[in-house]
């Protein structure tokens, strides 16, 4: 979560993150979800998704975003101190922009 003092104009307090999940539009995406500590619940209401992350188990959910944009969600389980403030941000971008983003990330990490 981005601290309030670091927010830019237009950012949402308690919802903005420093690393967004970036996914391509018009593409079926399978997301595997698990947890290393307690049960979390990955919820993105705008995409009609809520999936539990359970230690020792792998759950899956399929995503399909038809329009580019930014979708906000949160962990919907109060699973520990400050866990109710775990934001989730998914940025849906066209496939060409996604592939360009992947190339940029690869270049930064090599």
CATH of the domain at 77: 2.60.40.420
Domain interval for residue 94? 4-108
Residue from 46, 50, 32 nearest 91 by CA: 46
Q: Can you give the pLDDT at residue 98?
A: 96
In this predicted model, what pLDDT tens digit does every residue of 53-106 receive, in sequence order?
999 999 999 999 999 999 999 888 777 776 667 889 999 999 999 999 999 999
CA angle 7, 8, 10 (to 5 degrees): 110
CA distance 38 to 63: 24
Residue from 57, 51, 19 nearest 36 by CA: 57
Q: Can you give the pLDDT at residue 82?
A: 64
CA distance 27 to 41: 24
Q: Could you tell me the pTM of the whole model?
A: 0.82
Instruction: Count structural domains, the chain.
Output: 1
Q: Are 94 and 25 in contact (CB under 8 A)?
A: yes
Q: Can you give the pLDDT at residue 83?
A: 66
């Amino acid at each position: 979560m981005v601290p309030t003092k670091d927010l830019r104009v237009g950012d949402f307090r308690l919802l903005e993150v420093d690393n967004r999940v970036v996914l391509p539009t018009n593409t079926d995406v399978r997301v595997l979800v698990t947890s290393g500590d307690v049960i979390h619940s990955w919820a993105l209401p705008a995409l009609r998704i809520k999936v539990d992350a359970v230690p020792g188990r792998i759950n899956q959910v399929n995503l399909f975003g038809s329009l580019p944009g930014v979708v906000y969600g949160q962990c919907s389980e109060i699973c520990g101190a400050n866990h109710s403030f775990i934001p989730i941000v998914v940025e849906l971008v066209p496939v060409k922009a996604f592939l360009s983003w992947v190339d940029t990330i690869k270049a930064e990490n090599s």
